[in-house]
Amino acid sequence: VRRYAIRIGSGGDGRYRGGDGLIREFEFMAPTQFTLLTERRRLAPWGLAGGSAGAVGKNSFNGQRLPAKVSMTAVAGDVLRIETPGGGGWGEGV
């Protein structure tokens, strides 16, 4: 695991701000296969009662964007980065 952090600012604005997502970055040490079954990569998590949408999630492999659902093979030194979406905010901002 190269990085495990909060994705600051990914939650939507509102009276109650949506929760921030996470950033997880993995460097493979040996050849392997992986599968991603992720959501909210194109459509943002919506806000409610006047709150703003959260940020969409992102997946990348060696810096190249990946789709939300994919199976791939990696070799030693490859890097997988997963940025989870932020939650939508609730309520009109104050």
Q: How far apart are CA 19 and CA 17, in angstroms?
A: 6
Looking at every residue in the chain, the average pLDDT score rounds to: 97
Question: Taking the mean position of all CA atoms in its chain, how far away is CA 58?
Answer: 5
- pTM exceeds 0.85 for this model: yes
Q: What is the pLDDT of residues 16-49, one digit of tens each?
A: 999 999 999 999 999 999 999 999 999 999 999 9
